[in-house]
Structure 1
Amino acid sequence: MELERNAEFLQGLGIKAEPTVANLPSLGNNIVHLKPKEDYFIIFPGAASCKRMWPVDRFAEFVRSIVKETGWALVLCGTKSEFEISESIIKLSGIKAINLAGKTSLPEFSEIIRGAKLLIGNETSAVHIAATVNTPSVCILGGGHFGRFMPYSKAVDGVKPIAVYARMNCFGCNWKCVRKHDPNECVPCVAAVSIENVRSAAKKLIKGL
């Protein structure tokens, strides 16, 4: 993966380097007014393209089960363009939640993640930020860039995201999907990731808290 390649590049220059996730120091932002007072988890439902986004109805069913099991508050994060997607999850799940999509700066977003018990999202910067602030996370992963950015290899130190995926023989397609699918929906490898598999990964992390 990229972390290992970067380390190897530096080693080739005679610089001592290991494939390690850097720890992001607290930026000291006052986010008390943004986050819940109680324990909470984060859903990050967006991605750079709809083809990489797990379906809204699955996120909704997933959050119902996590709230039922943990009693944690739900926070949804993302960009301004993902506000309505987040609202759809809230509506479908029937769970009272805080929708922060488009309402935080990047430093504030990082601190929101730092304070969370758990983050679940698609393959975006959110899961990588979670790793830098030592927040457990689950990444719903497609095969477009499989192995380049995710999953994290065993050689990488720190709190690594758990990648959940449904392997197909077309992995590594660079997101040029060769399978028939609706261009307005996620690609088949993302659609093949089941709610149960995501729930199982989340439960594993919850037990470790």
Structure 2
Amino acid sequence: MILALRALGVGDLATAVPTLRGLRAAFPGETLALAAPAWLTPLIVAIGGIDRIVAAAELEPLDMAPAMPRIAVNLHGSGPESHQRLRVLRPGALWAFASAPAGHQDGPGWHDGEHEVRRWCRLVRYYGVPCDESDLDLAVPGADVPHGVTIVHPGAKSPARRWPPERFASVARRLHEAGHHVLVTGSPAEQQLCVRVSELAGLPGAVIRTGLGELAALVAAARLVICGDTGIAHLATAYRTPSVVLFGPVSPVLWGPPADRAYHQVIWHGTRSERGDLPGPVHPALLAVTEDEVLAAAEKAQDAAASQ
């Protein structure tokens, strides 16, 4: 068995897709297991080639994981905690970044300024596994969703990455006036924010509640996605849906869509990348983004998609 650890969120899973597919191709006769949160199952299925899902929460022991896998692959972090979570399973080999605190030297060095997709591909390449960084597409989950909508997604994991709801509302209203069918999406914890944005936009019926599979299908069928630096941006990349992604503390060089796709527009006014989980108020780089900029970028994204 090959066991990969990636017990994080939507965007984290999406950026590991090329690496997971590289592992699948390199070990066609082995069971490939992925330790990840169970709620990500619809996206794990959409990757294809994962034989077993091991329910795992971030930073929790891997109680459900099988002992003594042939290879344990740490796609979770630089160590030492994630290295140790896999070591207790007594794998035949641990593929991970070198970590002196974990006592693991057999691995490449960690680079802070590296794009997340490239990072994990580089790790498995070190161990001889070919990896295609452009292999980001996902299968579309079977779900009955409206087609051709424009998604406005105001939420993000940390307050520092949330553009003000008033500005999202202004963009939603102006897109609606331009003929877009606007829907506002968010996680269950973000429903109050979604309602506020929809009401400020004068679109009180625009909030749509979905599970993860339905959200993925909605993005795949959408006309446009407007969002911050969060998981749904990676779904837009996975389904090649035109998007505008607003970055704050974290540079798009680290987490942005492929630079050669003009139908994914990014806006960032930062000068250096910081932690993405900052607990404070909206990051100044994000506050510098204007509604007019977002609308202009939306037009560019749609024009680029139309010319494909």
TM-score (norm 1): 0.81
Equivalent position of 1:117 in the other structure: 223
Equivalent position of 2:297 in the other structure: 201
In structure 2, relative to structure 1, the CA distance for the partners of 1:22 and 1:144 (3 Å cut) is closer
Structure 1 stretches of 5 or more lacking a match?
A: none
Equivalent position of 2:102 in the other structure: none
Structure 2 stretches of 5 or more lacking a match?
A: 1-114
Shift of 1:190: 1.1
Distance 1:151 1:26 in 2: 19
Shift of 1:9: 2.4
8 A Cα contact 1:42 1:118, kept in partner: yes
Larger relative contact order (CA 8 Å, sep ≥ 6)? 1
8 A Cα contact 1:3 1:19, kept in partner: yes
Matches of residues 58-137 of structure 1 in structure 2 within 5 Å?
Answer: 58-69=167-178, 71-95=179-203, 97-100=205-208, 103-137=209-243
Amino acid at match of 1:25: A
SS at match of 1:47: coil
Equivalent position of 1:141 in the other structure: 247
In structure 2, relative to structure 1, the CA distance for the partners of 1:194 and 1:107 (3 Å cut) is same
8 A Cα contact 1:76 1:97, kept in partner: no
8 A Cα contact 2:265 2:300, kept in partner: no
8 A Cα contact 2:252 2:268, kept in partner: no
Deviations 1:60-114 (A, max 9, x none): 1111222222x121111111121111111111111354212xx311111100111
Cα RMSD of the aligned pairs, angstroms, is 2.3
Equivalent position of 1:47 in the other structure: 156
Larger Rg: 2
8 A Cα contact 2:263 2:300, kept in partner: no
Q: How many residues align?
A: 191
8 A Cα contact 2:233 2:243, kept in partner: yes
Equivalent position of 1:24 in the other structure: 138
Equivalent position of 2:117 in the other structure: 3
TM-score (norm 2): 0.57
Equivalent position of 2:275 in the other structure: 174
Distance 1:160 1:23 in 2: 15
Amino acid at match of 1:190: L
SS at match of 1:42: strand
Counterpart among 231, 244, 264 of residue 161 in structure 1: 264
Shift of 1:42: 0.1
Identity of aligned residues (%): 23
SS at match of 2:255: coil
Distance 1:22 1:152 in 2: 10
Shift of 1:10: 2.7
Distance 1:150 1:40 in 2: 23
Distance 2:135 2:160 in 1: 27
Distance 1:74 1:97 in 2: 10
